[in-house]
């Protein structure tokens, strides 16, 4: 029987899942932000697959697309554009109506409401309220974010997180850029994922 390449890939995310546990308590971080320096480095795949891996442990997990610039999370899960974060933050829909259950992973798209200033939305009191609601409803919340080198959004979102995963595509991100990004993220627990897939 030929090995299943998808299961082999998921095995790597099970390893990532184990690595983000708190070394003293063994608990998973409540809020994880997945970032990268530029588009196309694989952060959406990492966010989605980590969520699937956590769901296999019967963790109640939500993965939320906060990349209002170039959203891709719902496309990854083969879901059409739908109401999501922007609709919740602008008062057009409650959270429970925008969550999509995909095989045990609770997915929240960026939404249908127009976002003229993502930073203003991300720094609004509503974002803090949304985060508190997510933390009450889920054991782990994962944020997919815009690239750090192009927008300030990812830095703002990281401030809400307990753990930041920095995805680096092989041969695309210089050591200087990695150091700069880590400096922007401040005093956070940070893990680095080296993505060797250049496809």
Q: How many domains does the chain have?
A: 1
The pLDDT score that the predictor gives to residue 199 is 38
Q: Please state, in angstroms and rounded to a whole number, the distance separating the CA atoms of residues 64 and 136.
A: 15
Query: pTM higher than 0.85, yes or no?
Result: yes
Which long-range CB contacts under 8 A does 155-159 form with residues at least 24 apart?
A: 155/184, 155/185, 156/119, 156/122, 156/123, 157/33, 157/35, 157/66, 157/122, 158/33, 158/35, 158/185, 158/186, 158/188, 159/186
Is there a domain that residue 173 lies in?
no
Confirm whether 177 is domain-assigned. Answer: no
Asked, for residue 110, whether it belongs to a domain, the answer is yes
pLDDT band at 181 (very low <50, low <70, confident <90, very high): confident
**b/e per residue 38-47 (b: at least 16 CB within 10 A):** eeebbbbbbb
Range of the domain at 158: 41-135+151-163
| pLDDT value at 32 more than 60 | yes
Q: Is residue 183 part of a domain?
A: no
pLDDT exceeds 60 at position 79 = yes
**CB-CB contact of 150 with 112 (8 Å):** no
CATH of the domain at 61: 3.40.50.300
Residue 14 domain flag: no
Q: Report if residue 54 sits inside a domain.
A: yes
Predicted local distance difference test score (pLDDT) of residue 7: 62
31, 162 in Cβ contact below 8 A?
A: yes
User: pLDDT by residue (tens digit) across 35-75?
Assistant: 998 888 999 999 999 999 999 999 999 999 999 999 999 99
- Write the DSSP string, 73-128: HHHHTT----S-HHHHHTTSS-HHHH-EEETTEEEE---SS--S-HHHHHTSHHHH
Residue 30 located in a structural domain: no
């Amino acid at each position: 029987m030929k090995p299943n390449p998808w299961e082999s890939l998921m095995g790597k995310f099970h390893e990532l899942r184990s690595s983000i546990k708190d070394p003293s308590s063994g608990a998973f971080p409540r809020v994880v932000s997945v970032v990268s320096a530029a588009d196309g480095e694989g952060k959406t795949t990492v966010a989605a697959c980590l969520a699937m891996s956590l769901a296999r442990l019967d963790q109640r997990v939500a993965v939320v697309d906060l990349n209002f610039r170039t959203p891709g999370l719902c496309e990854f899960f083969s879901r059409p554009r739908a109401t999501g974060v922007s609709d919740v933050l602008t008062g057009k829909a409650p959270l429970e109506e925008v969550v999509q259950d995909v095989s045990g992973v609770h997915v929240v798209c960026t939404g249908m409401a127009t976002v003229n200033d993502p930073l203003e939305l991300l720094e609004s009191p509503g974002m803090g309220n949304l985060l508190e609601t997510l933390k009450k409803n889920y054991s782990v919340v994962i944020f997919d974010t815009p690239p750090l080198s192009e927008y300030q959004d990812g830095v703002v979102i990281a401030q809400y997180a307990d753990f930041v995963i920095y995805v680096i595509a092989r041969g695309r991100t210089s050591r200087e850029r990695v150091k700069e990004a880590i400096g922007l993220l401040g005093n956070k627990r940070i893990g680095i994922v080296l993505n060797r897939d250049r496809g």
